[in-house]
A = this chain, B = another copy of it.
């Protein structure tokens, strides 16, 4: 797994992933897919957060294992927000589709922030993990606040 990401590479990856994986049999599957990927990501991200906040002792190796999963999943959910899923009941707000540029930018910001957190976990420096975790969590919150009911 690569440890270095650039914004351009991430954006390209996100687009390539969306294209290569827009292969859902039914809109329901796309929704289950994005929800599943985001939930699993969120669980592992949260475990890093528990260490960042001091709720559990910091273990650099466990933080890295969790970030490996987060990074492997981070490019996936976006393919599940295709226009055909607009009619499926979910917490996604209509502006995911009507303000797509802002939604895509929010997604890219999260990928960039997660890449920085991933780098930080590899340094084993808890202060850097704390700082980059907070920044990454803030990008998640922007999307949740603006695009999720």
Contact = CB atoms under 8 A, between A and B. Distances in A.
B1 A62 contact: no
A24 to B, nearest CB: 7
A24 B43 contact: yes
A21 interface: yes
This chain's copy number in the assembly: 2
A5 interface: no
A36 to B, nearest CB: 3
Nearest to A59: B20
If over half of A's interface residues share one DSSP class (helix, strand or loop), that class is named, otherwise mixed; here it is helix
Interface stretch (A27-35, A92-100, A129-137): A27-35
B76 A20 contact: no
Contact of A43 (B33, B40, B43, B69): B33
A40 B76 contact: yes
Contacts of A90: none
Interface string A58-74: 00001001101100110
Contacts of A44: 21
Contact of A40 (B20, B40, B62, B66): B40
Nearest to A47: B23
Nearest to A62: B20
Contact of A39 (B20, B33, B66): B33
B20 A65 contact: yes
A63 to B, nearest CB: 11
25 contacts: A1-B1, A20-B62, A20-B65, A21-B66, A23-B47, A23-B50, A24-B43, A29-B43, A32-B39, A33-B39, A33-B40, A33-B43, A35-B36, A36-B37, A36-B40, A37-B40, A40-B40, A40-B73, A40-B76, A68-B72, A69-B72, A69-B76, A72-B72, A72-B73, A73-B73
